[in-house]
Amino acid sequence: MLGGDCAAALEFYRSALGAKIEMQMTYDEMPDKMPPGVLVPGWEKKIMHCSFRIGETVLMASDGRSAEDKGKGVHLSLSLPTEADVKKAFAALSIGGEIEMPPSKTFWSPCFGMLTDRFGIGWLLGIAA
């Protein structure tokens, strides 16, 4: 979560580490629009999601939903084979944690959820592509 600096960070990683962008989508490119009040005004052109490769490692980044998301740390992304697997892992990880987005259908996954576990680690759980 880069709080509005995702594009600049990607350019920096490209020049410093040879990063190659594989996918990038801004909030205004989403097929389903964000509900009112979720995104700060003027944030529509910010990066909602991108994946990039440094060597053989695939990384993901986002601007987040506002400048306040900057530095919120690293989220671990876990891809699982089925909706039942996602929901089971989500339920276990959410005990004592904070749910940001319960598992639900999105335009990129039939089941995706976000949470912070009781140790402060952010998780993005979804069905493997």
- pLDDT digit string (tens) for 95-113? 999 999 999 999 889 999 9
Confirm if 96 and 21 have CB atoms less than 8 A apart. no
User: Sign of the C-alpha dihedral, residues 90, 58, 122, 124?
Assistant: negative
First to last CA, the chain: 22
- pLDDT digit string (tens) for 36-53? 887 888 889 999 999 988
| CA-to-CA dists, residue 93 to 84, 113, 115, angstroms | 14, 11, 8
Confirm if 23 and 29 have CB atoms less than 8 A apart. no
Q: Does the predicted TM-score (pTM) go above 0.75?
A: no
User: What residue spans define the domains of the chain?
Assistant: 1-69, 74-129
The reported pLDDT for the residue numbered 72 is: 67
To which CATH superfamily is domain 1-69 assigned?
2,3-Dihydroxybiphenyl 1,2-Dioxygenase, domain 1 (3.10.180.10)
CATH class of 74-129: alpha beta
**What residues form DSSP beta bridges with 123?**
76, 115
